[in-house]
C-alpha cells in the first residue's frame, strides 16, 4: 500500500511540475511576444519604444520618446543586448523541451535566464525614463503627468 501511495504522489508532483512549466512558458511567451512585437514584427532592431513602455512612454513628448529611443538603440549597437544571446537561450529552451528524459529543472533555469534578459532591458528603459524625467522642468513634468491622467481616463472610458 505504501508503494501505491508513493506512486500516486509522484504522479501529482509530475502534474504540478508540468503545470508550473506550462504557466512559466505562457508568461515567458506573453512577455516575449509583447516585447518583440507590439502587434507587429520588427526585424531590423529593437522594438519601437512606444510599444515597450506602454502609457508611461506614450505620454512622453515626441522629442523625449526620440531621445530615449536613440539611447536604447545605442545600447543595442554597443552590444548590451545581443539578439544572438537571446536567440541562443530560446534555442536552448527548445532543446530542453525536447530532451528525453525531460528535466524540468533545466527548463526552469533556462526560463530564469531568459527572464533575466528581459529584466535587464526593462531596467534600462526605466533608467532612461527616470533620466528623461529628471531633465524635465516642473512645467514639462506636470504636462507629462496630465497626459498620463488623460490616457488613463481614455482607457477607463473604453472599458
Mean pLDDT of 20-48: 50
For cell 525531460, name the residue: 102
SS3 at position 99 = coil
CA angle 127–132–134, rounded 5-degree value: 95
pTM for the full predicted model = 0.57
Total domains present in the chain: 1
Dihedral Cα 138, 139, 144, 146, nearest 10 deg: 120
For cell 507587429, name the residue: 40
Per-residue pLDDT of 67-116, as tens digits, reads: 888 888 888 777 766 667 778 888 999 999 999 999 999 999 999 998 88
Q: For the chain, what is the mean pLDDT? A: 75
Range of the domain at 98: 2-158
pLDDT at 39: 44
Amino acid at each position: 500500500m505504501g508503494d501505491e501511495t508513493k506512486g500516486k504522489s509522484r504522479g501529482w508532483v509530475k502534474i504540478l511540475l508540468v503545470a508550473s512549466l506550462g504557466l512559466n512558458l505562457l508568461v515567458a511567451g506573453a512577455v516575449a511576444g509583447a516585447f518583440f512585437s507590439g502587434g507587429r514584427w520588427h526585424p531590423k532592431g529593437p522594438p519601437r519604444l512606444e510599444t515597450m513602455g506602454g502609457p508611461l512612454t506614450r505620454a512622453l513628448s515626441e522629442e523625449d520618446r526620440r531621445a530615449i529611443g536613440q539611447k536604447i538603440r545605442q545600447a543595442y549597437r554597443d552590444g548590451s543586448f545581443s539578439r544572438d544571446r537571446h536567440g541562443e537561450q530560446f534555442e536552448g529552451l527548445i532543446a530542453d523541451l525536447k530532451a528525453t528524459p525531460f528535466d524540468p529543472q533545466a527548463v526552469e533555469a533556462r526560463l530564469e535566464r531568459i527572464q533575466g534578459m528581459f529584466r535587464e532591458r526593462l531596467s534600462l528603459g526605466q533608467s532612461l525614463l527616470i533620466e528623461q524625467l529628471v531633465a524635465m522642468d516642473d512645467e514639462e513634468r506636470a504636462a507629462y503627468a496630465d497626459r498620463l491622467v488623460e490616457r488613463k481616463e481614455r482607457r477607463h472610458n473604453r472599458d
